[in-house]
Amino acid sequence: MDEYPLLVAERIGKHFGGLRALQGVSLSLGEKTITGLIGPNGAGKTTFFNVLTGIYKPDEGTVHFAGAPLPSGKPHRVAERGIARTFQNIRLFSQMTVLENVMVGRHLRTRAGLLGALFKTAGTLREEQAIRDRAFQLLEFVGIAAHATRVAATLSYGDQRRLEIARALATDPRLLALDEPAAGMNAMERKRLGGLLEQIRNMGTAVLLIEHDVRWVMGLCDRITVLDHGERIAEGTPREVQTDLRVIEAYLGTSRSVTA
Amino acid sequence: MATFFQQLVNGLTLGSIYALVALGYTMVYGIMELINFAHGDMVMVGALVTLSLTHVLAGLGVPLALALPLSLLGAMAVCMALGWLIERVAYRPLRRAPRLAPLITAIGLSMVIEQVAALLWGRGYLTFSLPVSRVWNLGGVVVTPIQTGVLGLSLLLMWGLLWLVRKTSLGRAMRATAQNPEVARLMGVDTDQVISMTFVLGSALAAVAGLMVVAYYGIGNYTMGFMLGLKAFTAAVLGGIGSLAGAMWGGLLLGVVEALGAGYIGDVTGGLFGSNYKDVFAFLVLIGVLIFHPQGLLGGRAGEKV
Amino acid sequence: MKGVSCRWLVLGGAALILLPFALELLLGNGWVRIVDFALLYVLLALGLNIVVGYAGLLDLGYVAFFAVGAYVYALLNSPQWGLHWPIWIALPAGALLAACFGVLLGAPTLKLRGDYLAIVTLGFGEIIRIFLNNLDSPINITNGPQGIELIDSLHFGSLSLGQMHHVLGLRIPAVVNVYYLFLVVVVLGMVFSHRLERSRIGRAWAAIREDEVAAASMGLNTRNLKLLAFAMGASFGGLSGGLFAGFQGFVSPESFTLQESVMILCMVVLGGMGHIAGVVLGAMLLAILPEALRAAGDWEQMVFGRIWVDPSNLRLLLFGMALVLMMLRRPGGLWPSNARRNELQGQ
Ligand SMILES: Nc1ncnc2c1ncn2[C@@H]1O[C@H](COP(=O)(O)OP(=O)(O)OP(=O)(O)O)[C@@H](O)[C@H]1O
Ligand SMILES: [Mg+2]
């Protein structure tokens, strides 16, 4: 299955005014893999996610997903094609309940329309129940079902991150893109999260994840891409990346610490 | 052809008033991304205060050449105080609130200002006539001293504002706050004060615009700020909201478009529509700009950071 | 349904059915008429609530949709064009045309930021009024500032609600007939609003209101959903306008000013954005308050011998202050929904 890649991003470029946030970045990943995207602060990782998920339009480059080009600048079309994401600075529907947040994620895969809502047709009621059941199932999967009726904003930080994952999973994605899902978690929570991500991969959803904790990523990912100053400086298995001189330099900042 | 030039002159006069008011919108928007709905009413307050003060001073026997500038200063003081107060009481507590909240307070404030003005000045039209009867006739195009005064004064003020923003430390603080309030704060800029000053400056310009409107049209009323505010906002969007130069060009352009439109719409549509549709132009321009070129003529802000 | 709420439903229903007779006995026919108009405001507020409360879009020209519905009914049921169409065509036609205008206005502007939308809708409201005022030449459509008169009263076939009827020896005047019709429509409006709010679509609107970027990333077609909210809200406005025209018997551009739009917005905001009961309360309060203030004006006249503060002036002044204070102190409104209450307590 690894023969044809699920996602192929080629020579993505994006700049903000004079700032080159991404330059010729290519990345491809296969089904049933966990891929890490790492790099120092401001390297362009989040910007890459935003381009990938249609929030920004790239200035250069193309993205193919599951064999067809991905529309740029249309987040909802990207989600429809099967890429779901989370956000670095958590973006939940904070005043809705935990369960409702996940139910919103089911919107894409359900059909009930205006008339069904106004006249409460049998089909609509059935679908609504199915949405609810599936949402609850996902909450159980990520381990926060006990908080289903709470308002999302009242959850702890770690639970909010888990909720974002459940909400993304609700769209039945083929690729789950996570922007620093482990930020602010302790070692125990990280370990549990790692297990969860492996489970997701084994069920057939590819995972692309941004992370700063290099050791954790190395243990978890099948392949890793490293960005620095908007450019891809390395790509390979964790072992290959670990020994790459440019990566070591970027992380330790040798060249810069000498001049500074 | 004379009609054309006549409408051009009228349009430029009107446009320079729009530009002054548009500056107020654009400054506030540039710094805190808020549409200050009450700004149009500030023009009304400036106009009515000037009008009343002039009458009072004239009644005391003060010559007009002195009474008018004094009244204008009075009106500017009132507007500046009001602008400061509004920001302090109604907008500052809502900086972190959902976007809808400050918009709604702004509408509420606009109602309050108008109704208080109606209580103070009544609901009727107040007249204001400057004793200038001379006109210059340049080959069929009539130019009045009021028109030249309006144009000259607004150009002067715009130049002054640009200088202030580009060359003074207050201006630098304003630009820094507009770009990134958090960083500006870290660098020691008192952003609260900068925002206050922005409101105060905008209000002062509005007061001057108020004087110009009553001088030009000869009447004032408690509702006069509404339409003017709307058009000035259109001008700001047309020029590119957040851009000072944009507000000026947008104002002048809108004034000219409106004047020419009103002058020619009858001919163009074969009498189907008359000049009573002139207020529609501004909205059509607004909607057109927002659809086809939302960043305006000179604007260009990056999208939301995710 | 639980036993308790069932009992309340029956009691409340009985009270609403008897209300016009009680009002007529105690305060006179004029008050029944006031309540009729208040019910139309409730319908308007419910419609605007879909746009502002559910989808979080600030519409400052909402009265334009009311105007469209009113003029459609007026044109289809008056000597102006010599048409007399049944209301089951005229009312839906007005609602539908209003919805079309909503889509026409929304399609190009809904992708813009919320505050631009507010200004564009405000401009749209004014444009509609300018057209109503001026479309009496070259072809006379709206009859200009005079408006359209002699509009047929609301009628079902040969049963006209504009006349007194006698049922089982009971005198039922026109205002009471109309009351029942409006009451039915308002209750339907409430039920539909409630169902929308709890539906897949209502949930999507709430998500867009909370975080548009996240909503789009979850696959919500935000533009279409917002258009839907706009069209739904507009159709409530159009329906209310049709009922208004049939009830009042004449329409003129004067009834559709910006002040009306702001008034409806006040009802929604003060009552409790997004909360049906709050919105109904807000609409009722603000629709009836002016009458109370008129009484205050009479008192003023008696006590001071002159009117110091013009009641209509005072009304707008109070509303304006209420809007500001509400946003600063109680952003959920007088009667906030549960979610908004949580929001307040959470902070
Ligand atoms: N909308 C935007 N407008 C202007 N500049 C932006 C925008 N988004 C990102 N940038 C800039 O692009 C660069 C890359 O940012 P990005 O958020 O992609 O980095 P990152 O790798 O995710 O960093 P971090 O690890 O801190 O999250 C930064 O310098 C950032 O300031
Ligand atoms: Mg990042």
Find chain B residues with C-beta within 8 A of A50's C-beta.
306
C328 touches chain B (CB under 8 A): yes
Inter-chain touch B306–A87, beta carbons under 8 Å: yes
For A67-71, C130-134, C313-317, which range has the lowest pLDDT when averaged over its residues? C313-317
Task: Specify the amino acid at residue C87.
Answer: I
What distance in Å separates residue C199's CA from the closest CA in chain A? 6
- d(CA A211, CA A38) in angstroms, rounded, equals 6
* Cα A155 from chain centroid (whole Å): 20
- d(CA B87, CA B79) in angstroms, rounded, equals 12
Between chain A and chain B, how many beta carbons pairs sit less than 8 Å apart?
A: 7
Q: How far is CA C237 from CA A247, B57, C41, C69, C99, in A?
A: 62, 51, 9, 7, 9
Between chain A and chain C, how many beta carbons pairs sit less than 8 Å apart?
A: 108
Distance A92 CA to ligand 2 centre (A): 17
Q: Which two tokens stand for residue A22?
A: 């991404």
Ion ligand 2 nearby residues (CB, 5 A): A 46, 88
Q: Residue C127: which of B102, B109, B283 has the nearest Cβ?
A: B283
CB neighbours (10 Å) of residue C288?
A: 16
Rounded to an integer, the average pLDDT of A147-161 is 93
What distance in Å separates residue C135's CA from the closest CA in chain B? 9
Residue of B nearest to A51 (CA): B306
Tell me, what's the pLDDT at A109?
Answer: 93
Average pLDDT, chain B: 87
- d(CA B195, CA B198) in angstroms, rounded, equals 5
Q: Using one digit for the tens of pLDDT, what is the confidence trace for C73-103?
A: 999 988 888 788 888 899 999 999 999 999 9
Inter-chain touch C195–A96, beta carbons under 8 Å: no
What ligand 1 atom has the least distance to the C-alpha of A180?
27
User: Domain A1-82+173-260 has what CATH class?
Assistant: alpha beta
Does pLDDT of C160 surpass 50?
yes
Phi/psi of residue A34, nearest 5 degrees: -115, 125
Tell me the Ramachandran region of residue C249: left when phi exceeds 0, alpha when psi lies from -120 to 50, beta otherwise. Answer: left
Q: Using one digit for the tens of pLDDT, what is the confidence trace for B179-208?
A: 888 888 888 889 899 999 999 999 999 999
What ligand 1 atom has the least distance to the C-alpha of A50?
18
Q: Which two tokens stand for residue B296?
A: 């305006």
For an interface test with B, the pick among C323, C329, C343, C347 (most B C-beta atoms closer than 10 Å) comes out as C323
With a 6 A CB cut-off, is A250 part of the ligand 1 pocket? no
pTM, entire model: 0.89
Residue of B nearest to A86 (CA): B306
Inter-chain touch B302–A16, beta carbons under 8 Å: yes
Does pLDDT of C343 surpass 60?
no
Inter-chain touch B94–C327, beta carbons under 8 Å: yes
Does pLDDT of C345 surpass 50?
no
Does pLDDT of C59 surpass 60?
yes
Does pLDDT of B123 surpass 60?
yes
For C198-212, C258-272, C333-347, which range has the lowest pLDDT when averaged over its residues? C333-347
Does pLDDT of C342 surpass 80?
no
What ligand 1 atom has the least distance to the C-alpha of A22?
14
Q: Using one digit for the tens of pLDDT, what is the confidence trace for B267-292?
A: 776 666 666 777 787 888 888 888 78
Tell me, what's the pLDDT at C177?
Answer: 86
Tell me, what's the pLDDT at B33?
Answer: 83
Domain residue ranges of chain C, discontinuous segments joined by +:
28-272
Residue of A nearest to C339 (CA): A95
Rounded to an integer, the average pLDDT of A66-95 is 94
With a 6 A CB cut-off, is A57 part of the ligand 1 pocket? no
Rounded to an integer, the average pLDDT of C212-219 is 95
Q: Using one digit for the tens of pLDDT, what is the confidence trace for B27-70?
A: 998 888 888 889 999 999 999 999 999 999 988 988 888 999 99
Distance A130 CA to ligand 2 centre (A): 35
Find chain B residues with C-beta within 8 A of A180's C-beta.
none
Does pLDDT of A255 surpass 70?
no
What is the CATH T-level fold of the domain C28-272, as seen in this structure?
A: ABC transporter involved in vitamin B12 uptake, BtuC (1.10.3470)
Does pLDDT of A51 surpass 90?
yes
With a 6 A CB cut-off, is A101 part of the ligand 1 pocket? no
Inter-chain touch A56–B303, beta carbons under 8 Å: yes
Tell me, what's the pLDDT at A247?
Answer: 80
With a 6 A CB cut-off, is A50 part of the ligand 1 pocket? no
Tell me, what's the pLDDT at A3?
Answer: 55
What ligand 1 atom has the least distance to the C-alpha of A49?
18
Does pLDDT of C291 surpass 90?
no
Domain residue ranges of chain A, discontinuous segments joined by +:
1-82+173-260, 93-170
Tell me, what's the pLDDT at B303?
Answer: 46
Does pLDDT of C346 surpass 50?
no
Torsion over CA: B67, B68, B73, B77 (sign): positive
What ligand 1 atom has the least distance to the C-alpha of B305?
1
pLDDT category of residue B160 using cuts at 50, 70 and 90:
very high
- d(CA A149, CA A139) in angstroms, rounded, equals 11
Inter-chain touch C218–A84, beta carbons under 8 Å: yes
Residue of A nearest to C190 (CA): A118
Tell me the Ramachandran region of residue C252: left when phi exceeds 0, alpha when psi lies from -120 to 50, beta otherwise. Answer: beta
Tell me, what's the pLDDT at C62?
Answer: 94
Find chain C residues with C-beta within 8 A of A85's C-beta.
217
Find chain B residues with C-beta within 8 A of A59's C-beta.
none
Q: Using one digit for the tens of pLDDT, what is the confidence trace for B1-25?
A: 778 888 899 899 999 999 999 999 9
Tell me, what's the pLDDT at B293?
Answer: 79
Q: Write the ipTM.
A: 0.92
pLDDT category of residue C280 using cuts at 50, 70 and 90:
very high
A87 touches chain C (CB under 8 A): yes
The 3-class secondary structure across chain C, one letter per residue, is: CCHHHHHHHHHHHHHHHHHHHHHHHHCCHHHHHHHHHHHHHHHHHHHHHHHHHHCCCCCCCCHHHHHHHHHHHHHHEECCCCEECCHHHHHHHHHHHHHHHHHHHHHHHCCCCHHHHHHHHHHHHHHHHHHHHHCCCCCCCCCHHHCECCCCCCEECCEECCCCEEECCEEECHHHHHHHHHHHHHHHHHHHHHHHHCCHHHHHHHHHHHCHHHHHHCCCCHHHHHHHHHHHHHHHHHHHHHHHHHHHCCECHHHHCHHHHHHHHHHHHHHCCCCHHHHHHHHHHHHHHHHHHHHHHHHHHHHHCCCCCCHHHHHHHHHHHHHHHHHHHCCCCCCCCHHHHHHHHHC
With a 6 A CB cut-off, is A231 part of the ligand 1 pocket? no
Q: What percent of chain A has pLDDT over 70?
A: 95
What distance in Å separates residue B104's CA from the closest CA in chain A? 20
Rounded to an integer, the average pLDDT of B135-156 is 87
Tell me, what's the pLDDT at C270?
Answer: 87
**Which residue has its alpha carbon closest to ligand 1 atom 29?**
A42
Domain residue ranges of chain B, discontinuous segments joined by +:
21-224
Average pLDDT, chain C: 85
Reduced to 3 states (helix: H, G, I; strand: E, B; else coil), residue B271 is: coil
**Which residue has its alpha carbon closest to ligand 1 atom 16?**
A44
Mutation pick for ligand 1 pocket among A22, A38, A46, A214 (CB with most ligand atoms within 8 Å):
A46
pLDDT category of residue C306 using cuts at 50, 70 and 90:
low
Inter-chain touch B286–C328, beta carbons under 8 Å: no
Q: Which residue has the tokens 């045309």?
A: C97
Tell me, what's the pLDDT at B302?
Answer: 43
Q: Residue C126: which of B112, B283, B287 has the nearest Cβ?
A: B283
Average pLDDT, chain A: 90
Tell me, what's the pLDDT at A254?
Answer: 54
Tell me, what's the pLDDT at B140?
Answer: 80
What distance in Å separates residue C94's CA from the closest CA in chain B? 24
